[in-house]
């Protein structure tokens, strides 16, 4: 059996073709399936900390919708050039009230609001210290957010040090505290680095 001999240009084109295929596959994975991000700041402590690398699952929102308690990466309505990472608290149709340092939820069709159980992810420093804007104000005056269709309300786990839905509306009333579903890019799947802190991120069971 004879082996066919190929020239230099054939091998060069073969290498280039394989590179293009690999780049296309990687691009498709990052666009539609998963993508890495680095956490900046302390708005999600103790769930996520500064400089950690996270992997987000994009595909999950191509086939479904965000759920309450999901930690997600999104573009904030007041600055579309950035990515934020926060936790989904209010779903479309919800009425979310912040008062006395806690979050109260009235889902669509319900007549009474119930206090949201957030003990599983809020530290003792933040549990019972969710205030209206600015987050560090200590202002326990009630404020209610009625989440419109196709939008979500998001809060950071570091309730006294997070720029989130409470801060997306400017002092002049412009802007919106709510994030459109299309601006939510993916759910945080797991912490990838540092290696000593690798773990999956799971949504809490609120028991609602």
Known catalytic membership, residue 86: yes
- In the set 43, 58, 162, 165, the catalytic residue is 43
CA distances 100 to 130, 132, 164, 186, Å, are 8, 10, 19, 32
Dist. CA 88–CA 120, nearest whole Å: 15
Mean pLDDT over each residue of the chain, to the nearest integer: 88
Helical residues (DSSP H) of the chain, grouped into ranges: 8-32, 60-63
CB atoms within 10 A of CB 106: 17
3-state SS of 69-124? Answer: CCEEEECCCCCCCCCEEEEEEECCCCEEEEECCEEEEECCCCCCCEECCCCCCCCC
- Does 3 have pLDDT greater than 50? no
Residue 43 known to be catalytic: yes
Full-model pTM = 0.84
The answer to whether residue 31 scores a pLDDT higher than 80 is: no
pLDDT one-digit tens code per residue, 137-156: 899 999 999 999 999 999 99
109 Cβ contact list (under 8 Å, min separation 6): none
- Binned at pLDDT 50, 70 and 90, residue 161 comes out as very high
Mean of pLDDT values over 58-65: 92
Phi, psi of 8 (to 5 degrees): -60, -45
CA distance 147 to 92: 5
Q: Residue 191: in which H helix or E strand, if any?
A: strand 184-193
- Domains, the chain, ordered by start: 8-200 (2.10.109.10)
Given 58, 86, 162, 165, the catalytic residue: 86
| CA 177/CA 76 separation, integer angstroms | 9
DSSP secondary structure code for residue 3 in this structure: P
């Amino acid at each position: 059996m004879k082996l066919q001999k190929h020239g230099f240009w054939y091998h060069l084109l073969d290498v280039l073709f394989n590179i293009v295929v690999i780049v296309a596959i990687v691009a498709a994975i990052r666009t539609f399936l998963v993508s890495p991000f680095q956490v900046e700041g302390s708005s999600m402590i103790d769930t996520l900390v500064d400089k950690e690398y996270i992997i987000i699952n994009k595909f999950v929102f191509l086939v479904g919708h965000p759920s309450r308690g999901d930690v997600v990466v999104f573009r904030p309505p007041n600055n579309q050039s950035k990515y934020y990472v926060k936790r989904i608290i209010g779903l479309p149709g919800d009425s979310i009230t912040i008062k006395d340092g806690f979050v109260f939820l009235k889902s669509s069709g319900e007549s009474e609001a119930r206090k949201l159980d957030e003990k599983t992810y809020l530290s003792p420093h933040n549990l019972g210290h969710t205030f209206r804007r600015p987050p560090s104000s200590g202002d326990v005056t009630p404020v209610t957010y009625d989440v419109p269709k196709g939008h979500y309300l998001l809060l950071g786990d570091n309730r006294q040090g997070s720029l989130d839905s409470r801060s997306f509306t400017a002092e002049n009333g412009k802007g919106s505290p709510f994030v459109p579903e299309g601006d939510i890019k993916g759910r945080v799947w797991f912490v990838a680095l540092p290696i000593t802190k690798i773990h999956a991120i799971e949504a809490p069971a609120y028991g609602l």
